[in-house]
Amino acid sequence: MNIGYLQETLSSITEVKPLGKTAGVNGVLCHIIGLVRYGDILRLAALQYDDEFAERAEAAEIAELNGLPEKPETNRERLRGDRSLDMTNIFHAVQTIRIGEKQFEINEMETSRCDWQNWQIPVLLTEFLKQGWHPAGLEYQSMENLFLTFMRLSGDYDCLPDVGENPAVQLTFRREHIPHPVEQPLTLSVGADYPDRLYFQDKNTGEKHWVQINRVYLADMWAEMRQTFNDPRLTEQFSAAELAEHQGEFERRFATICPPGMCFPVIEYECEEDLYLQFYSQEWLDNLPQSNSSCIGFIMKPDKKAGISGLPLKAAVIEEPMPADRRIIDTELFSCSLPRQYDDVIL
């Protein structure tokens, strides 16, 4: 850091308008600081304080200071988020913002933990304080427990929009799917019939749900990958040399995840319309994460549109390499993803 950087940071802020609106959303304190214009770019600045995150962060800091040894975290614990130091980011689901009578779409968004070493943060907050900003409810919270969110509003601006004095701010959220823990052991047989529905319980809500498994099979992901690279649409976008280079690079990475000759189990199932399921093998859940493992996500589409119950077929991939002759898989229905829609928030 130097004075030149500070000067550049100050000069990038064209003008600000404090709003100072606070509301609680799902246990997170959300505070709209105000509008800030950078040239023709308009952003809404907001702070978040998650009390549960602050408690976890403090406990982790105390444990580190005391030199307490940390037990290795299994894949199960990592997926549960038992030791997660992630905060609950409410703003990431915001779709539109209404300030007074004007409505804005969100073009992009970024959230970062407040850090005094990042001079942009104290400079920005100082500019708002000079213009009369009142950080109601956050004045005495530790800066390290606050998260700053910038939401870029659609459009180009040569001045701040006229939103009136002390306007109401309304947040409208998009619908999103949130995983809920299930952790129900399940033995699957490749190629077997599954005539009965399986019932399971959401550990968060206690609500019961069902799944109708249609079939379990082992997918040759290498064959799937080669079929993808043989798609004529790719030859229209890349030269033969470029395509060979991309395929070679992918194969090198994929070999560390699924060696040639191994397969991924795929579960085709029916369930409630807005429900999606995630399966893992019990062995993988109880193992420690591999630090050098790569991450590639796969989506499989069932050949048929509807299952034996007449509902749309869905597919879940267990991204763990297994021999092609594997017939019994000790797995676990680990979680179900359910839709969540926050109510509009008016600050």
pLDDT per residue over 60-118, tens digit each? 777 777 776 667 889 999 898 766 667 788 898 899 999 999 999 998 999 998 987 77
DSSP code per residue over 33-86? EEEEEETTEEEEEEEEEEHHHHHHHHHHHHHHHTTPPPPPPPHHHHHHTTT---
- Please tell me the predicted confidence (pLDDT) of residue 188: 96
Query: What is the residue whose two structure tokens read 């989506």?
Result: 299
What are the distances in angstroms from CA 300 to CA 16, 266, 270, 313, 317? 48, 8, 14, 11, 7
Q: Contact at 8 Å (CB) between 332 and 279? A: yes
Average pLDDT value for residue range 195-215: 96
Phi, psi of 201 (to 5 degrees): -125, 135
Evaluate if residue 161 carries a pLDDT over 90. yes
**Are 76 and 283 in contact, with CB atoms under 8 Å apart?**
no
- For residue 29, the model assigns a pLDDT of 92
DSSP character at residue 310: S
Q: Under a CB-based contact definition with an 8 Å cutoff, are residues 205 and 131 in contact?
A: no
Residue spans of the domains in the chain: they are 3-173, 176-219+263-341, 221-260
Task: Please report where in the chains the tokens 């109510």 appear, as a residue.
Answer: 343
Where is average pLDDT lowest: 1-15, 148-162, 222-236, 314-328?
A: 1-15
Task: Give the Cβ contact number of residue 228 at 10 Å.
Answer: 11
User: How far does the chain reach from its first CA to its final CA, in angstroms?
Assistant: 36
Which of 8-12, 93-97, 206-210, 292-296 has the highest average model confidence (pLDDT)? Answer: 206-210
The reported pLDDT for the residue numbered 213 is 97
Q: Identify which has the larger pLDDT, 178 or 59.
A: 178
Q: Is pLDDT above 60 for 292?
A: no
Contacts of residue 302, Cβ cutoff 8 Å, sequence gap at least 6? 214, 268, 313, 314, 315
Q: With 90 as the cut, is the pLDDT of residue 11 above it?
A: no
Is the model's pLDDT at 162 over the cut of 80?
A: yes
Measured from the Cβ of residue 192, the count of other Cβ atoms closer than 10 Å reads 12
pLDDT at 71: 75
Residue 50: partners with Cβ closer than 8 Å, 6 or more residues away: 27, 28, 29, 87, 88, 145, 147
> How much is the pLDDT for 15?
93
Residue 139: the pLDDT is: 86
- Cα separations (Å) of 277 from 89, 174, 337? 23, 21, 6
Output the pLDDT for position 298. Answer: 75
